[in-house]
A and B are shown apart, each in its own frame.
Chain A
Amino acid sequence: MMAQLINAVLLGGYYTVLAIGLAFMYSVMNIINLAHGAFIVLSAFGLLILGANWGVPLPLAILVMMVVMFILGVGLQRTVLSRASKGGELLPLLATFGIAIILDNMMFLGFGADSNSLAPLVGDLSWASFELPGNIFIGKLSVYILVVAVVAIAAIEFFLRRTELGHRIQATSQDRATASLLGIDTDRTLAIATGIALATGVLAAAALGLRSAWGPYDGSAQLLFAFEAVVIGGIGSLWRVLAGAMILAFAQSLGAMIHPQGFLICGHLAFLAAVFIRLRGGAFSLSSLISKGSKT
């Protein structure tokens, strides 16, 4: 039981890493990037090529890919999103969905349907484990992923709340017209924000690539997990994403104990429950749940 709880927490760490970029873009630009999962898989292929074909050590490969994805994000904002967001809320959704379809199939054409893994790049890390008292073994990799999730959120929160560029991003996100009247280049600011969102996806790509076998069409499943974590947690601070990811992971772990197919089903049910609670509370799920609990 204890082992299952710990593993659920660690799984939550993985979902957090998946969701950070999605949540960041959603809160800053009010765009749900439907190509989020596809970009993560693309980054994973990038890491694979750098690591397996060119022999670049994984940490360095992650840094290189972050730069690449940052540039790609800037390009995405400049060419697609800035144009699409002028046409209302629907077009960015349609455009990013189209991009996801293109990317998924291009990756299939380029890399084939085989399952891939980044695990060989890191020696025994992907199966090494810590032993806890009570004969509990937990995977080292999962622990590191959780640590990365927490550090990444702390870093982005610090960046947004404490740095000049972070404030410009917030200002642009809250009131674009006023931001540009203050001399802020809002297009550039949003391009940087998109770049950051895609760059954090590289962390998710490393986690995905090391944890399990993956292929070109796995982006949509990652997008769903990330999205569920975001909705369950609610928008606001990125720490809520961490909470949402934990709840999702607990629900899935619980489901897996009930039925072999229950893992995904219970995750989806947790999502629906969160929507229900939000519907009742009006505000976002967690806070309304907590405040209601304390009032009664």
Chain B
Amino acid sequence: MSTLEVKNIKAAHGQLHAVLGVTFSVKPGEMLFMLGANGAGKTTLLRSIAGDHKAESGSVHLSGADISLLPAHHRTRSGLSLVPEGRRLFPQMTVRENLLLGASTSREGPWTIDAIYEAFPNLTKLDKSQAGKLSGGEQQAVAIGRALMGNPLAIMFDEVSLGLSPAAVELAYAALKKLRDMGLALLIVEQDLNRALSTADEIMVMCEGHVTLHTEPKNTSLEALVAASFGHEEGTAQ
């Protein structure tokens, strides 16, 4: 059974239809990459799945349970986490305080502050630092750690590598691969197509609210991904 199952999500901003019926699923221990140009509707889709934006129609199932009608905080408490674009840490609070906020889901699981510091050793010494004063890479680590503190089943990441140094991106992906090996379902929005080809289990490309390509990395190429981001539909392998 898939961990995260999304069916025919439609979402709009007022008159503007941003997401026009998107369907996909992510299994435990699977990493699904979502690609597409700016304005393709990726962020709106993620926010609709998380319950932060009201979808017009469609359903979201998490481990078989229908969470489509739940408000955002109940979806998170069910085990679906979103790491938003720009990390959105609480800048005046310390790293520890930010991490502890992630435990607001009250879910049982392996993740504690100590486990986070074991997974991200560079955060240990920053325990009492203000989150707003950290580097981009450190902030991303805190954001991932904060999501893990809620012991989720599935995590969605919006623009993982945006604004990070290459070294920080490597570190972030090293962490994400570990999470995949632990059996979490991961949905990753990314701009870096090569990263998607090398890392993903499955790739989806969106353009103007539609999915234009849905395939495995071995069945596609950089050129095909670029073409799909500009709206050329071909070989949709569901």
A210 and B101 alpha carbons, distance in the complex (Å)? 41
Contacts of A114 in B (CB 8 A): none
Contact partner, A183, options B77, B84, B88, B97, Cβ 8 Å:
B77
Contacts of B97 in A (CB 8 A): 167
Task: Report yes or no: B90 in contact with A175, Cβ–Cβ below 8 A.
Answer: yes
Task: Report yes or no: B104 in contact with A181, Cβ–Cβ below 8 A.
Answer: no
- Tell me the minimal C-beta distance from B129 to chain A in angstroms: 16
Given A164-B100, A168-B101, is A182 in contact with B76 using a C-beta cutoff of 8 Å? yes
Contacts of A184 in B (CB 8 A): 73, 101, 104
How many residues does chain A have at the interface if contact means C-beta atoms less than 8 Å apart?
Answer: 17
Q: Which of A159-190 contact B (CB under 8 A)?
A: 164, 167-168, 170-171, 174-175, 177-186
Q: Which of B33-92 contact A (CB under 8 A)?
A: 50-52, 71-73, 76-77, 81-82, 84, 88, 90, 92
Task: Report yes or no: B88 in contact with A178, Cβ–Cβ below 8 A.
Answer: yes
A170 and B94 alpha carbons, distance in the complex (Å)? 13
A186 and B101 alpha carbons, distance in the complex (Å)? 13
Contact partner, A171, options B77, B101, B105, B106, Cβ 8 Å:
B101
Task: Report yes or no: B104 in contact with A168, Cβ–Cβ below 8 A.
Answer: yes
Task: Report yes or no: B150 in contact with A183, Cβ–Cβ below 8 A.
Answer: yes
A183 and B51 alpha carbons, distance in the complex (Å)? 11
Contacts of B52 in A (CB 8 A): 177, 180-181
- Chain A contact residues: helix, strand, loop or mixed: helix
- Tell me the minimal C-beta distance from B187 to chain A in angstroms: 14
Task: Report yes or no: A178 in contact with B76, Cβ–Cβ below 8 A.
Answer: no
Contacts of A164 in B (CB 8 A): 100
Contacts of A175 in B (CB 8 A): 88, 90
A179 and B50 alpha carbons, distance in the complex (Å)? 12
Task: Report yes or no: A170 in contact with B104, Cβ–Cβ below 8 A.
Answer: no
Task: Report yes or no: A171 in contact with B90, Cβ–Cβ below 8 A.
Answer: yes
Contact partner, A182, options B71, B92, B105, Cβ 8 Å:
B105
Contact partner, B101, options A167, A177, A185, Cβ 8 Å:
A167
Task: Report yes or no: B73 in contact with A186, Cβ–Cβ below 8 A.
Answer: yes
Task: Report yes or no: B71 in contact with A180, Cβ–Cβ below 8 A.
Answer: yes
For B156, give the chain A residue with the smallest CB separation.
Answer: A181
Contact partner, A181, options B82, B90, B93, Cβ 8 Å:
B82
Task: Report yes or no: B82 in contact with A183, Cβ–Cβ below 8 A.
Answer: no
Contacts of A174 in B (CB 8 A): 90, 92
Task: Report yes or no: A185 in contact with B73, Cβ–Cβ below 8 A.
Answer: yes
Contact partner, B100, options A167, A178, A179, A185, Cβ 8 Å:
A167
Task: Report yes or no: A180 in contact with B88, Cβ–Cβ below 8 A.
Answer: no
For B106, give the chain A residue with the smallest CB separation.
Answer: A183
A21 and B88 alpha carbons, distance in the complex (Å)? 28
Judged by a CB distance under 8 angstroms, whether B29 is at the interface is no
For A162, give the chain B residue with the smallest CB separation.
Answer: B97
- Tell me the minimal C-beta distance from A157 to chain B in angstroms: 14
Contacts of B102 in A (CB 8 A): 182-183
Contacts of B84 in A (CB 8 A): 177-178, 181
- Tell me the minimal C-beta distance from A166 to chain B in angstroms: 10
Contacts of B82 in A (CB 8 A): 181
A183 and B109 alpha carbons, distance in the complex (Å)? 15
Where the two chains meet, the residues of B that have a C-beta atom closer than 8 Å to any C-beta of A are 50-52, 71-73, 76-77, 81-82, 84, 88, 90, 92-93, 97, 100-102, 104-106, 146, 150
Q: Can you list 30 pairs linking A and B with CB atoms under 8 Å apart?
A: A164-B100, A167-B97, A167-B100, A170-B92, A170-B93, A171-B101, A174-B90, A175-B88, A175-B90, A177-B52, A177-B72, A178-B84, A179-B101, A180-B51, A180-B52, A180-B72, A180-B73, A181-B52, A181-B72, A181-B84, A182-B73, A182-B102, A182-B150, A183-B76, A183-B105, A183-B106, A184-B101, A184-B104, A185-B73, A186-B73
Where the two chains meet, the residues of A that have a C-beta atom closer than 8 Å to any C-beta of B are 164, 167-168, 170-171, 174-175, 177-186
Q: Known pairs A181-B72, A184-B73; list 19 more (Cβ under 8 Å).
A: A167-B97, A167-B100, A170-B93, A171-B93, A174-B92, A175-B88, A177-B52, A177-B84, A178-B84, A180-B71, A180-B73, A181-B50, A182-B101, A182-B146, A182-B150, A183-B73, A183-B104, A183-B106, A183-B150
